[in-house]
Structure 1
Amino acid sequence: MPLPPLLSLLLVICVSTLSATMIVVLLGRMTSRPKTAPPPAPRSVFLFDGDCLIDASAPARRLLDRLDGVGTERDLLTGLLEHRFPGLGARLRNLEGDGQSRLEARGGIGRIEIEHWDGLLRLTLCPDGTSDLTREAVDAIAFAALQDELETLRCIGEDAPQLIWKLDPEGRLSWANRAYMRLAEARRQAHDPPCPTGDVDWMPGELFEAPGFEPAGPDRERCRTSLSLGEARRSWFEITRIKRGAEHVHFALDVTEVVEAEQARRKFVQTLTKTFAQLAIGLAIFDRDRKLVMFNPAFHDLTGLPIAFLSSRPQVQCVLDRLRDRNMLPEPKDYTSWREQVAALEAQAARGTYCETWSLPGGQTYRVTGRPHPDGAVAFLFENISAEISLTRHFRAGLDTARAVLDTLPEAIAVFSAGGTRLLHNGVYAALWDLPEGGLAEIGLTEEIARWQALVAPSPVLGELRDFATAFGERAEWCDRLRLNDGRGLSCRFTPLPGGATLASFWPDAPEAPCIAARANGGAESALVRARGG
């Protein structure tokens, strides 16, 4: 029997409502089921008793396996974490009593928890709170890359030939490379007696005590200091200090050979300076930029330039301008030509061809020589030759006077040196022997005798004269006669002079000549015998 329509409608509504209720309950149970929490990220936990590690978690041991160096595990770990956690070393050194604290990492990524009680110390490395499985995997890859980079940097630092070390904010040595440790050990063995127990501190004190640093850049300082290793020779180091945060990183390069070379050069320059100071010749050296870099006292005395001006390293043009102002340069007709002369002076000195005599308005005479020096430098030598020039002028004046006196004599006179060179003669001699124009040239006795033989009859007198002029020892004056080709008689007298020189006198047809009078008195024969050596 079919149900009434109203009852069928109510039945459908009830079934639908019940089904919807069951679905909602099932969905609520499904959504309310607790999710499975991801496993917590493993933490690196270190437990120390003093400086000795007594326990560590698995991640912490993996981290410790990567540490390398000299020192305790606590010091090595502190040195590794100091960069990420600034101030960790100072905080661990200043622990007092029991308690706990935390230190945030640089940039706020992670922290380190510090707990200490009864002499035990526990360090826990905690990542930041936003870590998940993906972040943990990324951190693991980044940590591995950082460890590889750290290993590379550690190898570079340890194998570097120069000394590298780091000081903490309190000025204590917190890290040093192998070269520093070897030098510290060598110095300890040289200065300290060996330890009876054989125990040696892993971290020595700072080798260089309070060197005086000077700024060498925006973030670095530099100094040079020496270190004694118990030997006569001291080692010199050039130290560069760089500030990184609150710490200082130092780099020391051995410059012993450079310092010794500089000292040798300085001693050599001092020796040259002392030598130049004794010279009477003025010396001025200009570098490749034509600045005065060295001068001796003689240069100051000769030029009269102030010491303050010379010490200011003036340019060569400034020095020459000052000399011109003091009338110490030859004055040209116009200033333009003088400037051109200065430029030529500098160019010729650089080639080593400049050598001139300066006749100054004050009556002094300087010989100025320019010589090139290495690396483009130029040296000028100033020599006062006023006395030499004056002596030469006096000598020439005396020689001209003697020649003028000889020209007034009626005899033909010539003077020959000990080597047989004709030194001077008078006009009568030139006319007698028909000398060419310019007969003042020095001519040897052999050439003169050849000229005489062409104008006189053959005679042994000329051969005897050759032997007489070149003879050594004591000589005596002697006379004789020759005959010219035109038939005239020619009397001659040969007189020894000081220094081996010989005076030859000739006069034609002169019966009253001294040699004729001597022969009339019977003395010519004895004189001839003495001259010919008996």
Structure 2
Amino acid sequence: MDTDRFLPLLIGLMLAAWTLAAAWTIVLARTRQKRAEMQLRSARRLARMVEESPALPLLVRSDGRIEASPRLAHWLGLDGVPQYLSELDGGDRGLPEDKLAELAEAVRRTQKSAAPFRMAVTPRNSGRSLALRGHLADPQVSPGGAALVWVFDFSESEGELSRLREEAARARGDFTALVSLIEAAPMPMWFRRKDGQLQLVNHAYVAAVGAENADDVVARGIELIETVDGQSASEVARQASRQEAPIERVVSTTIDGQRRAMRVSDLPLGEDGIAGYAVDIEDMEELSRSLRAFREAQRAMLDQLSAGVAQFDMQRRLVFANQPFQRLFSLSAKTMQDPPAFERLLDAARDAGRVPEVRDFPAWRREKAAWFSASETREEAWTLPDGAHLRIVAQPVPDGGLMLILEDRTEQLRLSAMRDTLLRTRTATIDSLFESIAVFAPDGRMQIWNRRFASTWGLESEFLDTHPHIEHLLKTIAKRLTRPAEVEKVGDVVRAATLDRTEKGGRIMLADGRILEFAGVPLPDGNGLLAVLDITDSQKAEDALRESNAALLEADAIKTRFLASMSYELRTPLTSIGGFAELLDAGVGGQLDESGREYVAAILSSVAQLGEHIESLLDLSQSEAGMLPLRKESLEVMPFLREVAEERVSRLEKTGLAIDLRGDSLLRPLEADRKRLARAVGSLLDNAIAASPAGARILLQATKRKGGGLDIRIQDKGEGMDSRSLARALEGMKVSADGKSVERRQGLGLPLARQLVEAHGGTLTIQSEPGQGTLALIELP
């Protein structure tokens, strides 16, 4: 019952299910039909696209059969598509035999190894160019391991490709040649990117910067050009790129350890970058500097010449004129600021009276302007209105200019006239000389002689007028000599003066007893002068003087022996008298009364005074004879002077005088003979004491002299002396009491002091004026 109730329901459900299934089936069938139609249309469209595409497929099966479009057969020049690959060679059409074999081998290799291949073929008797690209076909296309070859027709682009290939090959060749040229270029060259960084450099650049290779230069960014005025080489390159204009500059850089001048160019190449190169112009700069230095040196040298020099360029304008030229042509500084042309210069010279006076000046000026086109140097002599004589030399130069040289010959002509006068004067002078004169040329011939030469040697005027050779002359005068062989002395002197250019002399005796002295002197003109002097009288006088000198030497020897004898003869009795007087004073001979002791004391005083005079006399005599012995020792100056002053204390007290002793500090010791220097200073001090009035002060001062040395000053305030009295005092003389005669002074004072000071290498100077006192200055080394 229940089953019957649910049965219709089940049947309805089943019918509904069948209805739904049928509807789904219908919908699915329609969908599949639409898809199939779409796929069919797509396949047709794809097939048509394949037919219309520039690439056609060729399917080659494993058994060699092929499938292709009839269009491919048309490309190959065949009537239809063959069944097998080997049939693509149609004799006079299709693929060539070698290309077909290559294609078959490529297809076989692809079918076995799935390796793709490419090749290009040209069918027989066809202008088409076909490109083949083969690979293993997809299993959905052909599951049997077939090869699918795509054929492309690039006939239309083949010509263009060929042309492009040729152009590319030519461009590659040109680029290779250009790169090789740049690499082999002797100048550094480089290429920069847009940002200024180096990208390429050549071998010369690498060698210039001392790098290992170009890659090292680029990697390290080594710049050839140094930073100049705060701008580096890359900054200058970027500036050229911004300005889109080349920048050229001349800078100095260091290459191989040397500073070289380089002309650097930076060339912008648009967006590609910046090219650059550097040309070494150091040699050109050096030549330019040398040329400028040469021009300046030449013009400086021309300024030093006495001749006037002017240079004109090819436009006939004055470019340089030295100072003599400006002076000779009367050119002012204003004129030289705007140098005139040649014709204007002649006009200005005519106005200044510096050209000759001519009748037709324009024609004369045109004649001088033709110097510029002359083929050789022209020379003229101009006589100016003021009487000046000019020598003009016009020398054309290769650049079309002219060099004009002016020489003022006025003075030369005047000197030539003076020379003629001097020659006549010389002849008259030589003839009037006391000596015998003869001038010989280097070839030995006599050129000039005076009358005395002929008379001295006894020669005839006719013989000398032949200008004899020295050998012939010697043979003639040999006959007049005491010893004819000595005539060679004269010949040697002449040859030494003319050939050896040395002075030489000699003496010779003539047969008549005359003595001739001759000498040869080389003259500036290459000749030799023979001077002969008759010294017969002077030789006799010389002999007499020689005899007198021998007598004087003998007298001097006698004087020396006399001084030695007198020293002994005077000292010995004086010493004996002094000794006996001292014995008497000591009471050896008995006691003496008061008067006896006074006599003995007077004797001792006289002995001491006489001994002092004898010492002074001997010192003076020995000093004048140059025989004064000195025993030098080191003396302290101030103690020495104090001792000399203290020896005269008693005398100073009697006369009421005082000595003012002064001295510089740190006086160096003096090397001198104490006894004799004390005698000299004491003698001067005694004279000062004798000349000073009572109560006066005498100055005794020692000072150091600049440059070394010692000065001793002795100054009094006495009556003084005039120059004549001072001269007599220095000679040991004085005016007599009656004033009418001169007599010897008592003592030797000043002469002895001067001799003793000079014996020490010093000098004694006496300065005195009447009423002003006397100053004695001793200067010791």
Q: Partner of 1:510 in structure 2?
A: 410
Corresponding position: 1:493 with 2:406: no
- 2 CA distance for matches of 1:365 and 1:32? 111
Deviation at 1:153?
3.1
Deviation at 1:290?
4.6
Deviation at 1:263?
2.1
Residues 461 and 480 in structure 1, CA contact (< 8 A), matched pair in contact too: no
The one-letter code of the counterpart of 1:343 is: E
Specify the SS of the correspondent of 1:382.
strand
Residues 299 and 382 in structure 1, CA contact (< 8 A), matched pair in contact too: no
Corresponding position: 1:348 with 2:249: no
Cα shift readout 1:314-335 (whole Å, capped 9, x = no counterpart): 5xxx54xx13xxxx434558xx
The one-letter code of the counterpart of 2:393 is: F
Cα shift readout 1:58-94 (whole Å, capped 9, x = no counterpart): xxxxxxxxxxxxxxxxxxxxxxxxxxxxxxxxxxxxx
Q: Partner of 2:289 in structure 1?
A: 393
Normalized per residue, the structure richer in helix is 2
- 1 CA distance for matches of 2:104 and 2:323? 90
Residue 467 of structure 1: which of 370, 373, 376 is its match? 370
Deviation at 1:369?
0.9
Deviation at 1:309?
2.0
In structure 2, the CA distance between the partners of 1:253 and 1:32, relative to structure 1 (3 Å rule), is closer
The one-letter code of the counterpart of 2:304 is: T
In structure 2, the CA distance between the partners of 1:343 and 1:170, relative to structure 1 (3 Å rule), is farther
Q: Partner of 1:478 in structure 2?
A: 380
- 1 CA distance for matches of 2:295 and 2:372? 22
The one-letter code of the counterpart of 2:371 is: F
Q: Partner of 1:124 in structure 2?
A: none
Cα shift readout 1:107-138 (whole Å, capped 9, x = no counterpart): xxxxxxxxxxxxxxxxxxxxxxx982221111
The one-letter code of the counterpart of 1:470 is: S
Cα shift readout 1:150-186 (whole Å, capped 9, x = no counterpart): 333333333233x364889999998777887666669
Residues 165 and 176 in structure 1, CA contact (< 8 A), matched pair in contact too: yes
The one-letter code of the counterpart of 2:382 is: D
Residues 226 and 234 in structure 1, CA contact (< 8 A), matched pair in contact too: no
Count of residue pairs brought into register by the alignment: 371
Within 5 A, what are the aligned runs for 1:14-25?
none
Residue 168 of structure 2: which of 262, 266, 274 is its match? 262
Q: Partner of 2:32 in structure 1?
A: 139
- 1 CA distance for matches of 2:376 and 2:268? 52
Residue 49 of structure 2: which of 156, 166, 182 is its match? 156
Q: Partner of 2:445 in structure 1?
A: none
- 1 CA distance for matches of 2:413 and 2:119? 93
In structure 2, the CA distance between the partners of 1:153 and 1:447, relative to structure 1 (3 Å rule), is farther
Q: Partner of 1:366 in structure 2?
A: 262
The one-letter code of the counterpart of 1:478 is: E
Residues 188 and 202 in structure 2, CA contact (< 8 A), matched pair in contact too: yes
In structure 2, the CA distance between the partners of 1:32 and 1:284, relative to structure 1 (3 Å rule), is closer
The one-letter code of the counterpart of 1:347 is: Q
Cα shift readout 1:184-219 (whole Å, capped 9, x = no counterpart): 669x9xx9863499999xxx89969879xxxxxxxx
Residue 427 of structure 1: which of 323, 347, 350 is its match? 323
Cα shift readout 1:306-353 (whole Å, capped 9, x = no counterpart): 32426x855xxx54xx13xxxx434558xxx244x6413431266333
- 2 CA distance for matches of 1:33 and 1:342? 93
Cα shift readout 1:353-403 (whole Å, capped 9, x = no counterpart): 311112125221111111222544321111111111112222222111111
The one-letter code of the counterpart of 1:267 is: G
CA RMSD of superposed structures (Å): 5.7
Q: What is the percentage of aligned positions where both structures have the same residue?
A: 14
Residues 157 and 177 in structure 1, CA contact (< 8 A), matched pair in contact too: no
- 1 CA distance for matches of 2:63 and 2:338? 89
Cα shift readout 1:44-64 (whole Å, capped 9, x = no counterpart): xxxxxxxxxxxxxxxxxxxxx
Deviation at 1:452?
4.2
Deviation at 1:493?
0.7
Residues 200 and 214 in structure 2, CA contact (< 8 A), matched pair in contact too: no
In structure 2, the CA distance between the partners of 1:276 and 1:329, relative to structure 1 (3 Å rule), is closer
User: Structure 1: which 5+ runs fail to align?
Assistant: 1-16, 42-129, 212-222, 518-534
Within 5 A, what are the aligned runs for 1:81-160?
132-160=25-53
Deviation at 1:407?
0.5
In structure 2, the CA distance between the partners of 1:31 and 1:375, relative to structure 1 (3 Å rule), is closer
In structure 2, the CA distance between the partners of 1:375 and 1:193, relative to structure 1 (3 Å rule), is same
The one-letter code of the counterpart of 1:354 is: I
In structure 2, the CA distance between the partners of 1:369 and 1:449, relative to structure 1 (3 Å rule), is farther
Residues 58 and 66 in structure 2, CA contact (< 8 A), matched pair in contact too: yes
- 2 CA distance for matches of 1:451 and 1:168? 109
In structure 2, the CA distance between the partners of 1:508 and 1:196, relative to structure 1 (3 Å rule), is closer
In structure 2, the CA distance between the partners of 1:434 and 1:308, relative to structure 1 (3 Å rule), is same
Residues 266 and 277 in structure 2, CA contact (< 8 A), matched pair in contact too: yes
Specify the SS of the correspondent of 1:495.
strand
Residues 372 and 396 in structure 2, CA contact (< 8 A), matched pair in contact too: no
In structure 2, the CA distance between the partners of 1:344 and 1:476, relative to structure 1 (3 Å rule), is same
Corresponding position: 1:414 with 2:313: no
Residues 226 and 235 in structure 1, CA contact (< 8 A), matched pair in contact too: no
Deviation at 1:301?
3.7
Cα shift readout 1:16-70 (whole Å, capped 9, x = no counterpart): x9xx99x9899699879999x99xx9xxxxxxxxxxxxxxxxxxxxxxxxxxxxx
- 1 CA distance for matches of 2:387 and 2:132? 98
Within 5 A, what are the aligned runs for 1:318-333?
319=221, 322-323=222-223, 328-332=224-228
Q: Partner of 2:122 in structure 1?
A: 229
In structure 2, the CA distance between the partners of 1:275 and 1:308, relative to structure 1 (3 Å rule), is closer
Deviation at 1:414?
0.7
Specify the SS of the correspondent of 1:477.
strand
In structure 2, the CA distance between the partners of 1:356 and 1:206, relative to structure 1 (3 Å rule), is same
Residues 406 and 413 in structure 1, CA contact (< 8 A), matched pair in contact too: yes
Cα shift readout 1:476-514 (whole Å, capped 9, x = no counterpart): 33333455xxx6857351332552653212356835379
In structure 2, the CA distance between the partners of 1:308 and 1:445, relative to structure 1 (3 Å rule), is same
In structure 2, the CA distance between the partners of 1:133 and 1:426, relative to structure 1 (3 Å rule), is same
- Larger RCO, structure (CA 8 Å, separation 6 or more): 1
TM-score (structure 2 length as normaliser): 0.38
The one-letter code of the counterpart of 1:434 is: L
